[in-house]
Structure 1
Amino acid sequence: MKKAFLKIGKAALVLLAALVFGGAAAFAMEWIALGDAQAALDWCRGALAPFCLTATFYGGAALFLALLTGRLWIGTLGVSAVAVGLALVSYFKFAINGSPLELEDFGMIGQLNQVMGVAGNLTIPGFAWAAMGMLALVTLFFLLLGKKLTLGSGRTRFLLLSLELALILGLTIGPGASALGQAFSVNTADRIMSTVSYRDYGLTLGLWRDACLLSNREPDGYDAAYMDGVVKRLDEILKPTQPTASAQDTPNVIFILSESFYDMTRLPGLSLSADPAENFHRLSEEGISGRFYTSYLGYGTGYIEQSIFSGLTGKDLAPGTNICFRDDEDYSLLDSIVTPFQKAGYETEMLHAYNNSLYNRMVTYPRLGFNRLLFSAQMQALDLNIQGSPYAGGYYLSDHVFTQALLSRLDAANADGKKAFLFGISMENHQPFDPEKFGYECQISVTSEQLDQRNLAITRVMLEGLTRADEALGELADALRERDEPTVVVFFGDHRPNLFMTDGGTVYSHLGLCDGNDCSNWDINQVADLYSTDYLIWANNAALLKEPAGTRQDTGLTSLGPAVLNAADMPKTRYWAMQERLSKALLVNTDLYCVTAEGTPYWNVTDAQLTDEDRELMELRDAIVYDTYYGNRYVTNRMNQTVGA
């Protein structure tokens, strides 16, 4: 009997030690994430239920490894490495672009070296070393306790291991996961932006929610007849589209994603000696321009590209899905905005001023409808008039060389009797924004009472990058004026740079545009402002424009694609006709925010001012997305036909 009590007592001690370690791991992760031990402690006390669940997860994981090895310290060492690794990756990601680690980021794990290279030099901060030291001390203490924290015989450990494995499978990824989350005050039903989820639940539970609890829900009554009704109702709302011009009447299209471009003159508190967007403003008077509402701040270029070409955002897909790393088949199920150009005989090419290492472009872009992909090396092999080094600001092609490559490919296609659809991704204005990036040169001077000299040096790098992007735009427009071939240029910034200052704040927080770097603490107008850039549609023949010159008209992720099709008089499939109609209601709709066509931002579409028909269309669209990517594809082919077909 005494031996039995001793065994039970020892098992209880091991269990208690594992839970204590779990609490230490949960605290250490918050310490690394928040950069302050007191702030981490305040979070643990303020979010006690999520903290306890996180502690249970890490304590349970350490116990599992202990049952495998017979030593608790081995379990705590292994789990510490995982916890610290996740926390550091999230910390560095936040340092780069102001957002924590998300489940979709694991799709980029194979490209981590390239991502780190693009981001610049990253060093582990002192407080992270302190948090790691705390976990090391806990592990050392368990090691010194020796046999007091060892577990029983192989048979006993096997039985306990089997029991814990069953609990893990049932309560974390199985049918009990939702009940477990609700028991610890975790919202298991609603989509939540990562920054908000992290604030409320911490990194671990935020990742767990996306991985195991949320899903894209099947429409009620989903079957072939239901989807047939969806298509019929769409046709009633959309009506057959008008015939478009023939292929020979359509213009060339040069579609440019200018890295981190936005109108810097909108920032308050800066005195500039000249206009860094002089050409953009001049061409805006000749074309159509406005705000471009995007889904990321500081990063996410590849995700934004996919949203524009496919009409999908992360909100449309299962939580945690990386929009660039889905099944290959997914990228060709529904026509992209490139597909009609390809079908019309256009030369469809993508040009990227860096290499092919990021965002899975070598796989996805051919499936989106591009006949040819050219990266930095392929562009330099063209017959360009390159004077000196083709690079600027690091290892990206300069925007000047990039513009020369666009014009070269345009002329080559036209010389072959073809129209061209060129999608170009410039990179000279990409981070990192180190003061020495452009050799400490800046064509435009800037002063500010809110920024000291060190922060002004960083700001000048962004200013110079934006100025060079604008000069390249002017160079392109001037060259197209000399060409007879009708050409439409669609130019936009993918996201604003998350320009960090020396104290860890951003240029936006220093200038009073937001409170801190965490968008979960911003109001809706601050989110809409900082999650927007600028765009332009311009043509070398004003008759090609669909609106009067100088028109101001905001757009966004779900609106720019239809605008490109309209600019070239391309026929629209049922899917893109639906997207165009919805763009009259919503410019962007993400897990963080949405913006109506009137430019009014809301936290979600439930609160947005939309008509009954708008909301019905959104439900129909949800059914189409589910059927295409998660269902039986009853109507996918019909969505690639014209309305009424």
Structure 2
Amino acid sequence: MQHQPTESNTSHESSGRRAAQSQSQGASARRQRRPFPGWLYALLFIVVDLITVGIVQWGVSAAASNASLDRVTLWDMIAKMGNGNMVFLFNIIVVALIYLVLLMVTNRFWIATPILLSLAIVLAVVERIKIEVRTEPLMPSDLSFLKSDTGSIMSFLPPGSGLMIGIAIALIAVIIAGAIALSIIDGRHGSMVRGRTKRTNALAAITRIVLTILPLGALYGYAMQVGTVDSWAYHVSRGMGDTPSMWDAVYDAQRNGPVISFLRQINPKVMDEPQGYSEQTMRDVAARYSNVATEINKNRVANLNDSTVIYVLSESFSDPTRVPGVQLNADPMPQIRALKGETTSGLMLSSGYGGGTANLEYMGLTGMSMCNFDASLTSPYQQLVPGASWVPSVNQLWGKPVDSIGLHPYEASMYSRAQNYKKMGFSHFYTLSGENGKDIIAHQNKIDHSPYVSDEAAYQSTIEQVKDVKGGQFIQLITMQNHMPYNNWYNNNTFKATNTPGSAQLPASERESIETYAKGMQLTDDATIEFLKQLDSIDKPITVVFYGDHLPGIYKTAGADEKNSIDLHLTDYFIWSNKASEVNGKPIQGTKLDDAAYTSPNYFIAQVAAQTDAKVSPYLAFLTRMHAHIAAMEPPVVNKIQGWDRIPEGQAIYLNAQGEPMSVADMSKSTQDMLHDYQLIQYDITAGNHYLRDTDFMTLPR
């Protein structure tokens, strides 16, 4: 019997034919969409890598954050390759490793590529905004901020940033859309490593795992080791042209690339763990110096924070007539020389020559010594403080942040001071540009053709922070007048420099620098004495610690002789108290401490306590005793402007009370024990477990 086709059967047959036709057309379309060849993927990988480096570099390519530095662009980095500097290539390699990891994890070229480019755009915008707001690029310490205070991010956005963010979002959207379109066009849809059988699928999986682990391991190993001197990563980085510029984080990111600069600061080596370090050891140390503090405080009556203490870091201030082979036709510092004969004063051993200001500043503010740190830690302000969870500093002895003020007539970005001063508990840090238009230093006058604010102006800004406050304060002033270079800035300069009889003749360029510097010293001499006179008229106790941070790096003739190393690292300092400073009704002015001939900045706060007859904390008691054992200490010194690769090689410099070098091997057992205690204390505060934080080690007696 023959069946007649029904309407339903006809409909099913028609649908089947349409489906078959559609499948046939789809198959034909897939045959037309050929997979991109391997060489094209390789070319695109290189192009995307270069674009990523360019985008990230754009993020830090705003003008250099201080006027004395030239902006470094991507093209400048490329041009340096002709001189053998491969830091641009190094950035490409590092980004390529990150790109490879994304490719292997996603196994899709058209997924990994927009992820990488989007991350680069986000990073570039963040860098741009952070530099505008805080004159500082993205740093490892910012990651902890994001973790703890993400909700405050919007409050940091500067006016006008919305447009840049909107453009960035639009670009990311275009990149994602483009990747989707190319994935459709590409016959293999960007699949990177694939197999066609069980065996080849297993091989593909192993390949992906290996190509993920190897670059991740290389990146992790590099980040963990590059901050350690003489590690493989350190040598690779320097060999590729990475030149740390730790005095200016923006310039460092421009010069070496933000990725390289960021990775270098992830894990700086601070110190080796001292022998015997433990919680019990640190409690024993705290108890030991608590007893010393009790003994010292029996004979002291004053409270340190009842006085106003002003630290004046006088840029490059040091007697040029003390430099071997140099003589001047007049004394550039007659008034300070006379003052030094009337108050606590002497010579300060400096770790720097022609640079390194912030390290002297750090030692003065914390009581810690650079000679205890590893050779890898060249700049605590850049490598240590930003990521530290505990930063005890001497200004904190004055209690509330409102009683701690910093002033610096230059850029806040130098050594990341603005952020570090906040972390150390300063309420204000006044600079030329301030931060977000706030905390701009009041007086900015310059002298003749000098590019720097005068000491007279810096002192006037400081006086205004002191005179209207009744209670005690801590004031930190870092001057700029005598900063290098010394290019005949001053009109009517009558100073003439010559070589001493029998010494090598000074070149004309060196003479000009010394003569310009000498005139600046004379101006500092006048301004400082006038500053002290104004402080003398204020009716509250004020003590000033005045010191030069390092010698100017202009003494090439003397520096050629290594025998002059100690002489080229001794600056002048004094501790002076005004007329209102008294102990038991007797004026402090005119006091001269017996052990003041030589010192280093880590001892300043202990010396201030001794000068003002103030009671001490266990920490200050330790510094007091340490100074009695070793008058001054600094890391090894060199007769050239400080580099930023490492602390110089060699034994640390220790001087006795007569200024004579001391050998650790020849020190008494008690002195060696105190040095070990110093290392324990400093390690616990900076790199250890902060056991001392839970004791009264840093606390002044009530």
TM-score range, shorter chain: 0.5 to 0.7
Q: Does 1:572 align with 2:616?
A: yes
Written as runs of structure 1 = structure 2, the 5 A alignment for 1:235-314 is 235=290, 240-242=295-297, 244-247=300-303, 250-314=306-370
Contact 2:344–2:576, Cα closer than 8 Å, also in 1: yes
Assess, with a 3 A threshold, how the Cα gap between structure 1 residues 568 and 373 changes in structure 2: closer, same or farther. Answer: farther
Q: Output the CA distance in 2 between the equivalents of 1:478 and 1:453.
A: 38
Q: CA deviation at 1:443?
A: 4.1
Establish whether residue 536 from structure 1 lines up as the match of residue 574 from structure 2: yes
Query: Displacement of 1:235 after TM fit?
Result: 4.2
Distance, in Å, in 2 between the alignment partners of 1:422 and 1:477 is 14
Where does 1:107-118 land on structure 2 (aligned, <5 Å)? Answer: 113-115=64-66, 117-118=67-68
Q: Which amino acid aligns with 1:431?
A: M
- What is residue 485 of structure 2 aligned with on the other side? 432
User: Paired residue for 2:599?
Assistant: 555
In structure 2, the residue matched to 1:375 is: 431
Matched with 2:475 is 422
Q: Compute the TM-score of the two structures, normalised by the length of structure 1.
A: 0.62
Residues 240, 405 of structure 1: CA spacing in aligned structure 2 closer, same or farther, 3 A cutoff? same
Find the counterpart in structure 2 of residue 626 from structure 1. 683
- Report the number of matched residues: 497
Quote the Cα distance in structure 2 between the aligned partners of 1:320 and 1:427: 25
CA distance in 2, matches of 1:644, 1:566: 15
TM superposition shift of 1:257: 0.7
Post-superposition Cα deviations, 1:80-136, rounded to whole Å, max 9, x if no partner, equal x99xx9xxxxxxxxxxxxxxxxxxxxxxx9999235x3358999xxxx979716789
* One-letter amino acid of the structure 2 residue matched with residue 601 of structure 1: P
Structure number with bigger Rg: 2
Unaligned stretches of 5+ in structure 2?
1-37, 90-190, 195-203, 245-259, 580-585, 636-646
C-alpha contact (below 8 Å) 1:352/1:376 kept by paired residues:
yes
Q: Distance in 2 between matches of 1:209 and 1:405?
A: 37
Cα pair distance change 1:488/1:223, threshold 3 Å: closer
* Alignment of 1:473 onto 2:528: yes
- SS for the counterpart of 2:550 is coil
Q: 547, 552, 555: which is aligned to 1:508?
A: 555
Structure 1 residues 467, 405: CA separation in 2 closer, same or farther (over 3 Å shift)? same
SS of match in other structure, 2:381: coil
**Compared CA separation, residues 205 and 533, structure 1 to 2 (3 A):** closer
The AA in structure 1 aligned to 2:621 is: A
What CA deviation, in whole Å up to 9, does each residue of 1:175-217 have, x standing for no partner?
9x99x9x9xxx9669xxxx9xx99x999779999998895634
Distance 1:469 1:633, change over 3 A: same
Distance 1:493 1:205 in 2: 27
For 1:341, the equivalent position in structure 2 comes to 398
TM score, norm. by length of structure 2 = 0.58
Please state if 1:582 is matched with 2:626.
yes
**Residue 132, structure 1, aligned to residue 88, structure 2:** no
**Counterpart for residue 660 of structure 2:** 600
Contact 1:583-1:597 at 8 Å conserved across structures: no
Does the 8 Å CA contact 1:295/1:557 hold for their aligned counterparts?
no
Distance 1:643 1:422 in 2: 19
- What is the CA–CA distance in structure 1 between the aligned matches of 2:84 and 2:274, rounded to whole Å? 49
8 Å CA contact 1:349–1:370 kept in 2: the answer is: yes
Report if the CA contact (8 A) 2:593-2:611 is conserved: no
Cα RMSD (Å) of the superposition? 5.1
Alpha-carbon deviation of 1:536? 1.2
| 8 A contact 2:268–2:377 mirrored in 1 | no
Where does 1:153-552 land on structure 2 (aligned, <5 Å)?
166=213, 174=221, 216-219=271-274, 222-235=277-290, 240-242=295-297, 244-247=300-303, 250-316=306-372, 319-320=376-377, 322-325=379-382, 326=384, 330=388, 333-334=391-392, 336-342=393-399, 347-376=403-432, 389-390=445-446, 393-413=449-469, 417-435=470-488, 437-438=489-490, 441-448=492-499, 450-483=505-538, 485-498=540-553, 507-509=554-556, 511-515=557-561, 523=562, 525-541=563-579, 543-544=587-588, 547-548=591-592
Secondary structure at 1:360 match in 2: helix
2:16 matched to which residue of 1? Answer: none
Displacement after TM superposition at 1:494 (Å): 0.9
Tell me, yes or no, if the aligned pair for 1:544 and 1:567 is still in contact at 8 Å.
yes
**1:254 aligned partner, one-letter code:** I
Name the CA distance, whole Å, in 2 between partners of 1:315 and 1:626.
12
C-alpha contact (below 8 Å) 2:347/2:573 kept by paired residues: yes
Decide whether aligned partners of structure 1 residues 154 and 418 sit closer, same or farther in structure 2, where only a CA change above 3 A counts.
Answer: closer
Tell me if structure 1 keeps the 8 A contact 2:307–2:543: yes
Identify the residue that residue 145 of structure 1 maps to in structure 2. none
Amino acid at match of 2:653: C
Q: Deviations over 1:416-466 (max 9, x none)?
A: x3234322111111123233x33x542423344723434432332222222
Structure 2 CA distance for aligned equivalents of residues 617 and 332 of structure 1: 23
